[in-house]
Every structure is written in C-alpha cells, then in structure tokens.
Amino acid sequence: MRNARRALLRLKQFRPLHVPDAPAQASFDPWPGDVTLGTRLVKGELDVAGTVRTLRPGNWNLTGDQPILRAAAHGFTWLRDLHALGTDAARSRARTLVADWIAIQQTDPVAHRPDVVGARIAAWLGHYDFFAASADDAFRQKLMARLTADAQVLAAALPAEELDARALTALKGLVAAAVALPEHGALLTRALRFLPQEVSRQILPDGCHAERSPAAQLAAMQDLTEIRALLQSAGAAQPAALSAVIERMAVALRTLRHGDGGLALFNGSKEESAELIDLVLTHAGRSGRAVPALTDAGFYRLAAGRSVLIVDAGAPAPRGLDRMAHAGTLSLELSIGRERLIVNCGAAPAASDAWRDAMRATAAHSTLVIADVNSSELAPEGLRRRPEKVEVARQEASGAHWLETSHDGWLKPFGAIHRRRLYMAESGEDIRGEDAIEAPVPQPFVIRFHLHPGVTASLQQDGEAALLRLPSGAGWRLRAEGARMTLDESIYLGGEEARRAEQVVLSGHADGPQQVKWAVSKVG
C-alpha cells in the first residue's frame, strides 16, 4: 500500500501543486537552542552528541557517518541553535544552508526517511520567522514549494516503517505541515488517522516509552507536546487520550531523573539539560511525582534521604524498538543530592561503530559481566541474543527498600543466571548489594562500579574498601567481600564532552566464590 501511494503521488506530481507564498499560520519551535553550538555552526561545524563534522554549503555528503549524525544534519533541528545565537551571521548561515540543501539533489536515503522529513518540515516552519520571513521572494517560494512537496511525500510514506520514536517525529512534521498548509486538508486527516495507534503502540501503560530509554522518553514527550500545541493552535480536535498519555509520560520522565535534574544513563541516553527537562515537563502540564517503579518498562527507583538509586531491571526493548538498546541489564546508578556517585558510562550514538559499541557493552555499565561476554549480543540494528526472562521482587517497609532481581542473558553461552539483591536503608546512607552467579560450571566475572568524573577514589590499605569523595567533600565508602577490589580507568560520555573517570572493579575467578557482597555507606 505504501508503494502504491508513492506511485500515485508520482503521477500527481505532473500536476502543479498549490504553493502558498508563506505559511498560513505561524508556528514556533518551543525548545531552547544552544548559543555555543550556534557559534560553531556559523564556523561550519555541526556537533551531534559530541561528534563534530563539517557542515558548509555544498558539503552534504555524510554517507560515511553514523545514520544519527546524518539524520541530524538533514533534519535541520540545529536551526534552533542558530536562532538562539540570533545574530545576522547566524540568520545568513541558516538561510544559506537551507537554500543550498534545496538546490542540491540529495542522494543520501537518510535525508528522505519519514522521521527526517518530519523533523525538517517542523524545523523550517518553527524557525520560519527567523531565517525566511525577511528573505527575498525567490527564496521563500522555493522553500514553500519544497515544504509542500515534502509534506505530500511524507503523507504517502505513513505509516512510517520505523517502529520506534522516530515515527512520532514523522507525525509531528505532518501535523506542522497541515497547520501551515490548510488548503491541503488531507494532510491533517492522514496524521490524525495514524497518531492514536502510534501513541498506543509506543507508550507503555506505566507511561514509559517502549524503547526503554530516558533519551527516547524525553524526545517522544517533546514531539507529542508539540503535536498537541499545533492541533490546539489550528483549532483541530486532538485524540481523546493524548493529554492523559502525556501526563503519564511526565511521571515516568520524573522517575528517570537524578537529583541533579538530569536523566539516568540507560540505553543510549545522556544527562541532558535539567532546564530542558523542566521545560518539557512544564509543557506536559499536570504531572505527578516520581514513582518507585515503572513496572511495564522495568525501571525501579529506590529513594531515601538524599539518595536516589535507579536500576534497569527489565528485559531489553523488543526487536524493532531496540536500535539504541545497551547490554546493561541490572545496571544501576546512584546519586546523592545533586551529585552523581555511581553511573553508567553514557552513550556515543553518533560516533564510530567502535565507540558506539564500547558504550553499549555490559562493561560500560555498573553491573556484573561474565567472562567478558555481553549480557546481550550487540548488533548494528539492535540486539540479537538477549535476556528473555528478567525477574523482579520489590519490597518497602518503614522507609527502607529491598529489590531482588535476576536475568538469564548468559543462559545460552554459560547456562548462567545473574542475581542481584539490593537494599537501601531509610536514611539513604546505607546501601547494600549482593551479586551471585548460578551456573553448572563456575565462571570468571567482574562487577564494575563506574564513578562520575567528579568523584575521587582511593583504595584503603586492606584492599577491601574504597573511599569515594564527592565534589562537595562528602565521603562514601564502598566495601566488598568475595572478590578482589581494584581501581581502574573509566570514561564518561554522559555530559557534553568525553571526560576521564575511574571505576571500582570487583574481580572473581572460576575457582573462587560465585557470590559477592558489597555495601556503599556514608562516612561520618
């Protein structure tokens, strides 16, 4: 059916499309840009998740780069960074790059993916007043002609073949086009046909996005709140359940935040700006507080005193939704107040395959690794072998928390089950854990606790404990029995740039105990 619609569209293209002189209704991009990134764009540098590439007129051939970087370039979301800069040079650079992109025959298939087309339409319309309203008639006519044609192509491509959050971006672009081009009434009809089923398929009952990624959660909320605002501005009816879904998503997003306001680092996520997350939650409207568990997604939040422990205790996202999935089952992160103590390493989605996979590996997460084998088998398109059964039991009494978890990710290669038990006292200053391997043949293993770059660590003389010092000066001690403790180098890609860090490593051998008890407690 999709191919038939595209064939029919090609026939219709022999007839002239009605192209307006300007959008019928102004729209705007509600999300803040980054002045620093805008300054780099004026100089010809595009920064996508820490990976920098040249972006200048005539230089759109990025086929050697990761699809996420190419999608960012062709999706024009970076216009918000030039808009934030707001100088004449920024406006000129935006206009030049848009005109150049339109003039060149784009051969990269990523540029024509529905989500990229949707992002581009939304970006061009959202920043129209910044770069196009004061341009000459010829530029504006070419821009509106391309917008109109792209909207028709996008409508024919739906439902999007991409099953993940990218489908919501495609729908956002179609709704934005429908608002700007009301004479093309079929655009809105088609968007509203697919929006409810897409929302129902992608958003779990607990409000978490089906990709199980805090980053995807944030992006999906941005798209859905924009869609709602666009429909409201056009006076169009919105799906009945849309506002309720956004409210549930807001609760899930709060649950996946640390004390500093940033995101937990699971499945392709970075910290992100706390100010941006606050703004998204404001646009979401009414939203409750963080909850102890997102049971459908499998995320658990243990909070007491000033401590927040977030655990990934769910099966990986299903195939088709696991493009950004990491092999981090049963990994955990711990923050104390506004300071992060134990972290995962983050993500490098736009970097080389080697760096991207290094960050997706089990070893880049604060959890156990058996024989240097990932708990899920990494593949470019997602995951192959993976945990099929992840069990969780949670209890709470008098402010204290218990969490018992297990997964079978190593069942096929080793016949092994990993069990992790966690306890947090009501004060939040005493956190205990136990990791055990159940296997017919004992296995070598490593348990890693990656530390935030702001944390300094030193081994105590007995080698059975490490003193961890937060930037505020507060001290915490990590003790363990059943494994040899060492300090090793680590790397942190959770922020805006890569930073050196350390990790506490607990090493066990095949001829030693298959159980390790550990504790993290406040000093003094």
The beta strands (E) that lie in 251-351 are given as: 293-294, 299-304, 307-312, 332-336, 339-343
Give dist(CA 477, CA 460) in Å, integer.
10
Give the global pTM. Answer: 0.94
- Domains for the chain: give ranges and CATH numbers: 2-202 (1.50.10.100), 299-522 (2.70.98.70)
Q: Which residues pair with 478 in a beta bridge?
A: 466, 520
pLDDT in tens, the chain (524 residues): 555 555 554 445 445 567 888 999 888 999 999 999 999 999 999 999 888 999 999 889 888 888 999 999 999 999 999 999 999 999 999 999 999 999 999 999 999 999 999 999 999 999 999 999 999 999 999 999 999 999 999 999 998 776 788 999 999 999 999 999 999 989 999 999 999 999 999 999 999 999 999 999 999 999 999 999 999 998 888 888 999 999 999 999 999 999 999 999 999 999 999 999 999 999 998 778 999 999 999 999 999 999 999 999 999 999 999 999 999 999 999 999 999 999 999 999 989 899 999 999 999 999 999 999 999 999 999 999 999 999 999 999 999 999 999 999 999 999 999 999 999 999 999 999 999 999 999 999 999 999 999 999 999 977 889 999 999 999 999 999 999 999 999 999 999 899 999 999 999 998 888 999 999 999 98
Ranges of H-type helices in 205-261? 214-233, 242-255
Chain-centre distance for alpha carbon 185 = 33
Residue 368 has phi, psi (to 5 degrees) of -95, 145
Tokens 């050697």 map to which residue? 64
Question: What is the CB neighbour count within 10 angstroms for residue 384?
Answer: 11
